[in-house]
Amino acid sequence: MNAIGPVEPGEDTYGRANTHGRKAAAPRAAWRAPRRHHRTTLAAAAAVLLGAAGLILHLTRPEPPPAPPPPWPSQSVAVTYTGEMSRPRAGERNFTFAVTVTHEAGPPVSVRRAAQPSAALSVRVSPATPFTVKSGTPRKLIITMHIRECGEVPRNAGLPFLEVTLRNARANERQSYILGPEYANDLSGALTAACPRTRVS
């Protein structure tokens, strides 16, 4: 008896099916590529937007307030008499004393000149001017006073002060420093000793 069984698949049946399976996977790979490109484009666009936002914030931020100007030099510098007045003998024309220049705060101050108001006296300073005084570092000055004319020297306690020219980043100033009664007394004694024949006014 002849029987007809199920038709068996031929040789290429599974091979073709596998081939079709591989071909079916191709569209999935092709679909992933545009998604990858899309993500890269989005990331680049986000980076550009963030950079632009940072630039806008940088350009539109408020300007910091300007730094306050340094103080006037006369407001930050003090000149004090520290004694050491020499006593000249009669007929001598030079004597010395010491002062201290103190700079309290702010940028350095340059001492440009030291003088006094009487035409009968001249002043020489050591160290020589100009020199710089820094904050917190006092400078000791030795003042040499020269008597030009005994008959014209001041003996009045209200006259002996120093005129000091100061300069910093803000201004150039000439300031008069009254060195106090001790300085006035010592100066009067030195002038009297150097010029004993001059009548005290």
Which amino acid is it at 99? V
> Quick one: pLDDT at residue 35?
62
Report the pLDDT value the prediction gives residue 199, as an integer from 0 to 100.
46
Q: What is the mean pLDDT of the chain?
A: 79
pLDDT, tens only, 169-186? 889 999 999 888 899 889
CATH topology of domain 73-194: Immunoglobulin-like (2.60.40)
- Averaged over 82-110, what is the pLDDT? 92
pLDDT of residue 3: 53
pLDDT score for 99: 95
Contact (CB, 8 A) for 148 and 94: no
- Specify the higher pLDDT residue, 138 or 66: 138
Query: What is the tens place of the pLDDT at every residue in 117-154?
Result: 888 889 999 999 999 999 889 999 999 999 998 888 87
Q: Where are the domains of the chain?
A: 12-61, 73-194
Answer yes or no: is pLDDT of 37 > 80: no
Which is higher by pLDDT, 71 or 7?
Answer: 71
pLDDT value for 28: 55
Percentage of residues of the chain with pLDDT beyond 70: 67
What is the percent of the chain where pLDDT is above 90? 35
Burial 36-52 (b: 16+ CB within 10 A, else e): eeeeeeeeeeeeeeeee
74-95 pLDDT, tens digit per residue, is 889 999 999 899 989 988 999 9
In this model, does residue 20 exceed pLDDT 80? no
What residues have CB less than 8 Å from 102, skipping those under 6 apart? Answer: 77, 78, 79, 80, 133, 138
pLDDT of residue 63: 75
pLDDT band at residue 200 under the 50/70/90 scheme: very low
Better pLDDT: 153 or 23: 153
pTM: 0.62
